Structure 1
């Protein structure tokens, strides 16, 4: 549907532009609008700037041109003001039945001394690259730099949902940018209904009013920018109404650093861990965590109408970034003929954000790791999955074991006998900085190739913190009987010693690889637990120190079994009891 006085220009991928440019030019003084009536100067025009006492300018992407050699006068400004709508509290006005926006600059006395006349265009077909997400019913947040087309895409979202998906759509139109100026909205919003906002400070109240009074299926809101608006957006989402909006910011990481809008992606809070929990996680005592479920399920970072980056699971992406892992979005672009192409952008850092930027909680041993591991909860269990181009998040497993008591401090140990040196060439580093590992390999002359998946590896190297927790990737490596080299820290010397063992050398003390003593303790405890569950009778474990006993109690508790300690040191031991036959565990 096209406004009668609009000019339409077909674009690739079946995009049609309606700009009603003649109506904007008619509102400008003749000596300013004249040069813009040429066809060449109409194309890609962004805005016309008129400042008192200066030459008028027309702005295009990457360039400006002077429209007249006569300076702008008060009469020129009044000419425009008389032909447009009234300015609101946000100093914005429009031209009725168009999408153009005129913003004014006032002096200290409130007098208008400058105008920015921005061209508003309805571009049909701009959301083709994300149309499947829009029709999925999920809440979507659009991000992008000013002028990239957020409002234009939002307008097209409203039209598609109202006309193509036949949904009840309400637009909360704060500055009449989505539906245009005047009481009758622009045809570009299709069958959507539009609620105008009397003053920008009341946008949040109109958002709630729209839900309470008009029973919408979809709410469309532009420029969520205050804490009250973020809270209103959460309220709308919790009521089961699909929410599509835009916010200030160019990326999801920017939004996380914005305290006002962070609630849109779940909010971030600082948590202080106890000494034991901090050691188990391998983090500082003060860490950052997501506070609540995100308001928006999907975040779309707009690079242009034809290219976007998509975070399809905002909760997982935020968790991954806070833990210091990569959260690479899915990048899409429109190819020839309107075909949607998935771009594997290897140069993009994705979300390799790290706690250094957010302020707390990064993993020990250098910069955050950059592997991608996903998890999905299924029936209460964590099951590893691998899907292309999805953001990944890593969550450690629960049990924690004590640190092995090495015969020599700082010597790495291995949990399986190494294969022949000629066969071990591909190494999967779990939690080890790759740059540091490559440096150690060059130092000792180890011929290795770093891989991103344990399924492709001949051996695995990891930190003791991760090995104790047994995350899915390390359990997979053990299931494959891969040699697992465990180091206490990611220092170059530690890595060199591990690589020497991998190569088959002996190290300075002449000793071979040693086995982690906690491996047998874990296995012994789990076998005892299995016996209690199967036979329903208590099982007593061998004597152990207090740290080992605490781990044994934790393992029993994971299986909803009771346990208690008895005897005196050094013969104190743990007895695992069937459910309901004992008292809470005693160390």
Structure 2
């Protein structure tokens, strides 16, 4: 089968109808789900869907319509090639009219399955979403190495549901143990499963495309199944791989994990200049948000061995495209963004950063979650409290606290803090009446006192030293009152409330507010 495309140049391609090439995913084809085939050029995607069209049309007796964008499935002759079986072919006169032919196929030909070759633009992706709502089985191909590359492609995001930036509340972010601004899937994907073509005889199968996309956006490793096709006996050898794409960690992976990374829920660091640390200049002021000290926008980031489109896409989804931009001139950059592996292999980056006095932000892998974290760190949007540690060398290492809570509160603490919240929001503020809380342990009373102060309300101790309890007053706590209260009683932290040794304990003295 020869395909000839006439434009400014003459292109001839010879297609091969290989019988049995779709046996590796025959169960997915017969299952009735929509399948997205992903792979680089020349890996056998078109040959695979040509055989899928024949199986569905001849073996399954379905009404199959092929949207042959470049005439590579059925050829460009008046009579389609016999390799597609009884499937009906619809030729596309122009690549830009692919979406019109897809919609026409659903409206006029009543297909049960539509085979689409080479979806490469946004209109084709939207048409797939439209056809999915009509209850038609879709089998399509798209250029990309993995599903993550499809997510990063703005034109093909709709195939996997699209992505959007979501801001969570404090309680929801604490429950999920993630940062407040995350990337989530915008809607259901157009396909139920996806196949990543590694070679003509090997592929990775994602049975649930929606779960895979959610895992990638959350910075986790998706579950997939590796399949091998034995060409001699034409059978499938299934290997269930419940681990990530790197199932066996190498020595380099362990070396990278030992370094500080920018993770979704792992601790984040800005490295300094040493053998295992990256440079952060002393001349610049280190703020609590670890951001680049620049008043004017946009901030220019020099990305080393990173596609600038990935950074700009994340910034666009977050609505920050006017505040951050990428540059290939390190002299004009305000910060450097690189992976920990590249920093290890190329130590000269630290010297260049030191010469230009630029902060270096290091991440572990190019996941969407870590890119969001990096953008927020560079712009100083995350309220981290950095601790500068002095090492034996002259360099400084600035650590940023994790988004996860340091200590998981007990049920008693949660109940006590919820009691304070309900009392303030339902009685003290609306009704203007004082509320006396239940007696608690001194450590929990201290936590209650901090929560009451966050509402800017006055409070007094209505209990005894051995049995403290708070009374919330409907009075606003101003700065003068808070300064005066600190002069009466010295506040003791919960860590020092228990005296070491023996059974003797010292009770925390709570501050009394003046009348």
Deviations 1:307-337 (A, max 9, x none): 1101111111111111111114210012352
Give the Cα–Cα distance (whole angstroms) in 2 for the partners of residues 541 and 319 of structure 1. 43
1:572 Cα offset (Å): 5.9
Higher relative contact order (CA 8 A, sep 6+): 2
State the partner residue of 1:228.
123
8 A contact 1:324–1:363 mirrored in 2? no
State the partner residue of 1:324.
219
Matched, 1:334 2:334: no
Change (3 A) 1:213 1:347: closer
Equivalent residue for 2:239, pick from 343, 364, 387: 343
1:286 Cα offset (Å): 2.6
Deviations 1:486-526 (A, max 9, x none): xxx9x9x9xxxxxxxxxxxxxxxxxxxxx965144468999
State the partner residue of 1:306.
201
8 A contact 1:167–1:218 mirrored in 2? yes
Matched, 1:153 2:48: yes
State the partner residue of 1:204.
99
State the partner residue of 1:119.
14
8 A contact 1:328–1:349 mirrored in 2? no
Change (3 A) 1:520 1:318: same
State the partner residue of 2:67.
172
Matched, 1:518 2:410: yes
Give the Cα–Cα distance (whole angstroms) in 2 for the partners of residues 550 and 298 of structure 1. 50
State the partner residue of 2:3.
101
1:191 Cα offset (Å): 1.0
8 A contact 1:323–1:361 mirrored in 2? no
1:189 Cα offset (Å): 0.8
Give the Cα–Cα distance (whole angstroms) in 2 for the partners of residues 159 and 182 of structure 1. 18
1:362 Cα offset (Å): 1.8
Change (3 A) 1:275 1:154: same
1:124 Cα offset (Å): 1.0
8 A contact 2:224–2:240 mirrored in 1? no
Deviations 1:269-302 (A, max 9, x none): 1223345544444433332111111111111011
Report the aligned-residue RMSD: 3.9
Give the Cα–Cα distance (whole angstroms) in 2 for the partners of residues 547 and 260 of structure 1. 50
Give the Cα–Cα distance (whole angstroms) in 2 for the partners of residues 131 and 218 of structure 1. 15
Matched, 1:142 2:44: no
8 A contact 1:140–1:299 mirrored in 2? yes
Give the Cα–Cα distance (whole angstroms) in 2 for the partners of residues 126 and 361 of structure 1. 40
Q: Report the 3-state secondary structure (helix = DSSP H, G, I; strand = E; otherwise coil) of the residue aligned with 1:146.
A: coil
1:304 Cα offset (Å): 2.3
Deviations 1:412-434 (A, max 9, x none): xxxxxxxxxxxxxxxxxxxxxxx
1:347 Cα offset (Å): 8.5
Matched, 1:195 2:90: yes
State the partner residue of 1:284.
179
Deviations 1:97-135 (A, max 9, x none): xx31234673xxxxx5xx443221111110101000011
Deviations 1:42-71 (A, max 9, x none): xxxxxxxxxxxxxxxxxxxxxxxxxxxxxx
Change (3 A) 1:120 1:294: same
Give the Cα–Cα distance (whole angstroms) in 2 for the partners of residues 102 and 239 of structure 1. 33
Q: Mind listing any 5+ residue stretches in structure 2 that lack a counterpart?
A: 250-261, 270-384, 390-406, 419-435, 452-457, 461-469, 474-515
1:547 Cα offset (Å): 7.5
Q: Report the 3-state secondary structure (helix = DSSP H, G, I; strand = E; otherwise coil) of the residue aligned with 2:31.
A: coil
Q: Report the 3-state secondary structure (helix = DSSP H, G, I; strand = E; otherwise coil) of the residue aligned with 2:18.
A: strand
8 A contact 2:145–2:196 mirrored in 1? yes
Deviations 1:182-232 (A, max 9, x none): 222111111111111222111101101111111111111101111111000
Matched, 1:362 2:264: yes
Give the Cα–Cα distance (whole angstroms) in 2 for the partners of residues 337 and 326 of structure 1. 33
Matches within 5 A, 1:467-506: none
Deviations 1:69-100 (A, max 9, x none): xxxxxxxxxxxxxxxxxxxxxxxxxxxxxx31
Q: Report the 3-state secondary structure (helix = DSSP H, G, I; strand = E; otherwise coil) of the residue aligned with 1:315.
A: helix
1:162 Cα offset (Å): 0.9
Matches within 5 A, 1:412-427: none
8 A contact 1:333–1:340 mirrored in 2? yes
Q: Report the 3-state secondary structure (helix = DSSP H, G, I; strand = E; otherwise coil) of the residue aligned with 1:123.
A: coil
Change (3 A) 1:220 1:105: closer
8 A contact 2:20–2:234 mirrored in 1? no
Give the Cα–Cα distance (whole angstroms) in 2 for the partners of residues 166 and 549 of structure 1. 73
Matches within 5 A, 1:440-455: none
State the partner residue of 1:241.
136
Q: Report the 3-state secondary structure (helix = DSSP H, G, I; strand = E; otherwise coil) of the residue aligned with 2:155.
A: coil
1:348 Cα offset (Å): 3.3
8 A contact 1:127–1:305 mirrored in 2? no
Deviations 1:433-481 (A, max 9, x none): xxxxxxxxxxxxxxxxxxxxxxxxxxxxxxxxxxxxxxxxxxxxxxxxx
Give the Cα–Cα distance (whole angstroms) in 1 for the partners of residues 448 and 53 of structure 2. 60
Give the Cα–Cα distance (whole angstroms) in 2 for the partners of residues 179 and 143 of structure 1. 20
Change (3 A) 1:191 1:518: same
Matched, 1:217 2:112: yes
Q: Report the 3-state secondary structure (helix = DSSP H, G, I; strand = E; otherwise coil) of the residue aligned with 1:224.
A: coil
Deviations 1:128-181 (A, max 9, x none): 010000111111000111011111111111110111111111111122211112
